Every structure is written in C-alpha cells, then in structure tokens.
Amino acid sequence: MMERLSLIIFVFFLALSGLKAQENALYTQFFYNKLAYNGAFSGAVPGVELTASAREQWMGLDGSPSVQSLQANIPFTPQRVGLGVFLRREKIGLTEHLTTNLSYAYHLRYGDYLIGLGVNARVGRLTHDFSEQNIRTTRPFGQDPLLQGNMENATYFNAGASLLIRSDRLYAGFSVPTIAKKHIELDDPDDILSSGRGRYWHLMAGYSIPMGRQMILNPQFMLSYSADIPINLDVNLLLDIGDEFIAGIGYRSMSGSTGNIGESIHLLGGIKVSDNWFMTVSYDIGLSSFRRHHNGSLEVSMSIYFGDRAKTGEMRSPRFF
C-alpha cells in the first residue's frame, strides 16, 4: 500500500513540476519524428508527408505519460524550401500539455551535400486539472484548502533554430528547439510558468549502409542535453528489408541512472501497408529499477506520403534523410 502511495505521489509531483522531464519530446522512433527535434528537416523530403503517432509510456502505472502527435512535412521548392507543422498532446498525472510547433527551413547545396538552416516557433498551453475525478483523498473532496477542484492554465511562446547536413547516405543535425530558457508568457493567471525550463540541445546523426541488393542497415543516434535534466542518448540499428519491412533494436541511456545498465532497450518493426502508407510499432523494455512498477512503453506511428515517393512506390525508410 505504501509503495503504491509513493508511486502516486511521485507522478503527482512530476506533473506539478511543469513536465520538466517531458518538456523534451520523447520518442523511441525519433527517426520518424525528426520535426519534433529539428526544424531544419522541414522540406527535406521528396513529397508531402503526414505522420500520426501515439505513445503510452510506462503502461500500467496510473498517471504515466500518454502522448499523441500529428506532423506534416511540406516541401515547396524542390531541395530548397520547406515548412513543418508539429501538433502534440501529452497527458501526465494531473497535467495536460498541448503544443503547436511551426518550422521553416532553407536548403543550400554544397557539393554532394545539402545544408539546411531552420527556425521554429512554438506555442504551448499547460493545464493542471484538480477536479474531483482526478483526485483521490482520504477526506471528503473540498475539505482540503489546496484541493478545491480548480483548474490552472497557462499559455506560452518560445522559438528555436537548427542545422542539418545531409547526403544520399548520411545526415547530421544540431538544434535548440527552445532558445529562451524561460517561456515567454502569453497568459498565466495562476503563475505556473514562474520556474525556468530546461533549454534542450539535440544532436542526431545516421548513416545508410547497403547490405546486398535487398537490405540496407541504418545505424542512428540522438543525444539530448539540458542543464536541468540528465543526458539522454538513443541509439538504434534498423534493417530495411526489400523496401517492404523494417526491423530494428535500440537502446536508451540516461546519465544519473546510478546502479542501472540503462533506461531501456527497444524492439521495432515496420511494414509497408500500401504504396503510400507505412506503419511502425515499437516496444520499450525497461532496464532501470523502476521497471518493476510498469509494463514497458508502446509507440505506434502511421505515415502517408504524397508526391514523388508515393508515385515510385518507395516507403518510409530511415535512409530517406
């Protein structure tokens, strides 16, 4: 009973802290959600791409993070200009976090490489819901002066910049999605944005290695850093099989996880549903001592492609950088 109560208190205060740890978008399939981290990927595709994703983190634990997102990557002038739209909803504990991120990128050719320069603007809304259906108390609801069924809201703005270098087989990107450490308040009557947020720095890279005529090996990694949050490293090794299937394994490590061999390992599979539809599923297996309290994390993505990629029948492969 005390262990379960401790878990509930942990999730509660994680929510009240303003989602500091989840301010950084966490995706096992970060290679299919690059716009969440780096706006310079806007337009770095042959045709319009739409992707919907859902992630259930730490399944079986009350109040654990639940994330849904929708993104659009829209190239205008081929190989030159692109726009990106990323919509995200996250629910953790008593807190809901909605964000809208718009990005623009301009791409320059330098020899065999394309260099993308990106900027992004983000508007977010935080809601703390202390209504009765979300609170469990030992006394009749409303007797505690701190729990009166109220809701707290705040709206904020932030902006970022990014860089991308890519070729047919290689990509490397660096980004700071929110330059201002403290969000610019647009509306905060309850003063829930008073504390500073972590400024995240993202470094990601990947390389495509042909393995015969039908398979391509794609090692990729992403490093995320903030002064307030442990360093997060994601490493994935994906195998593209005959332009029909994707199979892979990954590993996540966080600094500060003393006594653990890492945060989680990941299993991933993908299938080409049709010429312009592609679906991927990944499952995270916990490695830290916290794994005893949950049943892993599940992430599902569905993508649809228009333009050149749909016409040629090419599916979403990580080698398409």
Domain assignment present for 81: yes
Residue 318 lies in a domain: no
What's the domain count of the chain? 1
Q: Are 97 and 110 in contact (CB under 8 A)?
A: no
- Does residue 172 lie within any of the structural domains? yes
Supply the DSSP string of 167-225, one letter for each residue. Answer: -SSEEEEEEES--SSSPEEEE-TT-TT-S--PPPEEEEEEE-EEETTTEEEEEEEEEEE
Q: How far apart are CA 129 and CA 229, in angstroms?
A: 25
Share of the chain above pLDDT 70, in %: 77
With 60 as the cut, is the pLDDT of residue 15 above it? no
Mean pLDDT of the chain: 80
320 domain residue, yes or no: no
Its pTM stands at: 0.81
What range does the domain containing 167 cover? Answer: 2-312
Binned at pLDDT 50, 70 and 90, residue 288 comes out as confident
- Counting Cβ atoms within 10 Å, is residue 111 exposed (0-12), middle (13-18) or buried (19+)? exposed
Q: What's residue 195's pLDDT? A: 62
Q: Is 154 helix (H, G, I), strand (E, B) or coil?
A: strand
Domain-embedded: residue 317: no
Structural domain includes residue 200:
yes
Quick one: average pLDDT of 58-71?
87
pLDDT digits (tens, 9 = 90+) for 212-271: 888 999 999 999 988 767 788 999 999 998 878 999 999 998 755 555 677 889 999 999
Choice among 87-96, 189-198, 269-278, 289-298 with the minimum mean pLDDT: 189-198
Strand partners, 53: 69, 301
For range 143-168, the mean pLDDT: 80
CA angle 209, 213, 216 (to 5 degrees): 30
Q: Six-digit token pair at 202? A: 């993202």
Distance from C-alpha of 267 to C-alpha of 20, rounded to nearest angstrom:
27
- Residue 63 C-alpha from the chain's centroid: 19
Which CATH number fits the domain that encloses residue 230?
A: 2.40.160.40
